Amino acid sequence: MCVADGVVGLSFGAITVGEGLPVWLPMLLSVVVFAGAAQFMFVGLVASGGNPVAAVLAGLLVNLRHVVFGFTVGDVVGRGWQRAAGSHVMVDESVAFALAQPDGERRRAAYWGCGVLVFVCWNVGVLAGAFLGTAVSDPAALGLDAAFPAVLLALVLPALRDRSTAQAAAVGVVVALATAPFLQAGLPVLLALSGVVVALARPEPVAA
Amino acid sequence: MTTLVAAVLVLGVGTFAFRYAGPALRERMTLPPRVERLLGMSTIVLLAALVATSTMLDGREFDSVARPAGVVVGAVLAWRRAPFVVVVLAAAGTAAVLRLLGVP
């Protein structure tokens, strides 16, 4: 899994620089924000000429899920200064790993071990990718612009196998594409949230 | 550049606040399951919309055929649970070959 994160990080670094953004940006994001999906969101919107405010807003919305994570695994994060460090390594992987362990002590070990390892792999991958990206002279000729959405799609696809999430996403995609020619980049993606409203307006599936 | 650094820092501080909120507040309150579901779904919808717009458009213009074609190839492979590296290389490779053939 660490290798997988490293490869995603490598793609993130290379693609960000390939989009014409400065080489320090992917590295700063990866240390300070340390959340893959939000970083892709931020870079995607900034690279397409979007307002940085919209990019920050979209990134924050993507990261809201960490509030839920914190309530779920808060007991293994620790207290005092440990809580600060432990919170920063709260990512999808460390939370999933912790939840897969039955008891408190093993849970704590899994959370911290996985979190720190992912932090290291992710940042090493991004660092390598960013420098690799500077060596590419014509990113479009290599199809790097197609790699960006493909990477993201591969990351969200498992969640789209859930039917109501897929319906919400479909509505959101249509709204975003329909409004994109008329609005500043970034806003259409935020408007896609209307898809969630549509999904919630439908009656809850009745449990058998 | 200053704007970009500031934006990254705001995103970083906000993200940290989200991460810190759960461990700090969980002894005093709980989250309703409906809120959890809503947040999970919102994340996926935002990312799916970003996939769609960054596939189809450059800024406000539908500008390319090679890029969407590459993404579709990647999507099919990802749906069939191909390894991540294969998905990425196939998407980029398809777009690159089409461009080599003169497709925009």
In a domain, B7, yes or no: yes
Alpha carbon dihedral A89, A92, A95, A100, in 10-degree steps, equals: -140
Residues A110 and A204 in one domain: no
- pLDDT tens per residue, range B70-92: 999 999 999 999 998 899 899 99
Residues 6+ apart with CB under 8 A from A146: B55, B66, B67, B69, B70, B71, B74, B91, B92, B94, B95
Interface contact A148-B54, CB threshold 8 A = yes
DSSP output for chain B: -HHHHHHHHHHHHHHHHHHHHHHHHTTT----HHHHHHHHHHHHHHHHHHHHHHHHEETTEE--SHHHHHHHHHHHHHHTT--HHHHHHHHHHHHHHHHHTT--
Residues of chain A with pLDDT under 50: 207-208
CB-CB under 8 Å, B40 with A68:
yes
Distance CA A133, CA A103 (A): 43
- The answer on A141 and A196 residing in a single domain is no
Sign of CA dihedral A60, A64, A69, A70: positive
Residues A94 and A194 in one domain: no
Count of domains observed in chain A: 2
Interface confidence, given as ipTM, is 0.90
Write down the pLDDT at residue B55.
95
**pLDDT band at B36, cuts 50/70/90?**
confident
The amino acid occupying position A139 is P
Check CB contact under 8 Å for B20 and A7: no
- Domain limits for position B14: 1-30
Residue B22, token pair as written in the block: 């759960």
Q: What is the pLDDT of residue A206?
A: 52
Q: What is the pLDDT of residue B10?
A: 98
Q: Give the span between the Cα atoms of A104 and B50, in whole angstroms.
A: 38
> Mean pLDDT over all residues of chain B?
93
Residue A207 DSSP code: P
Which residues in chain A have their CB less than 8 angstroms from residue B6's CB? 52
Cβ of B21 under 8 Å from any chain A Cβ?
yes
The gap from C-alpha A107 to its chain's centroid, in whole angstroms, comes to 24
Nearest CA distance, B104 vs chain A (angstrom): 10
- Does residue A127 sit in the same domain as residue A195? no
Q: Is residue B71 part of a domain?
A: no
Write out the residue range of the structural domain in which residue A166 sits.
162-208
Give the number of beta-carbon pairs within 8 Å between A and B: 287
3-class SS at A143? Answer: coil
**Which candidate from A62, A75, A150 shows the least CB-CB separation from B91?**
A150
Same domain, A111 and A208: no
Question: Into how many domains does chain B fold?
Answer: 1
Q: What pLDDT, on a 0 to 100 scale, did the predictor assign at position A50? A: 86
What is the structure's pLDDT at A204? 61
In this structure, the answer to whether residues A34 and A118 fall within a common structural domain is yes
Strands B61-62 and B57-58 turn out to be antiparallel
Does B9 fall in a domain? yes
Q: What token pair was written down for A77?
A: 């994060």
In degrees rounded to 5, what are phi and psi of residue B62?
-75, 105
CB contact under 8 A, A70 and B53: no
Please give the average per-residue pLDDT across B34-38, as a whole number.
85
A133 in the same domain as A53: yes
Q: So what's the pLDDT on residue A208?
A: 45
Closest approach of A125 to chain B, Cα-based (Å): 14
Indicate whether A150 and A194 sit together in one domain: no
Is B62 inside a domain boundary? Answer: no
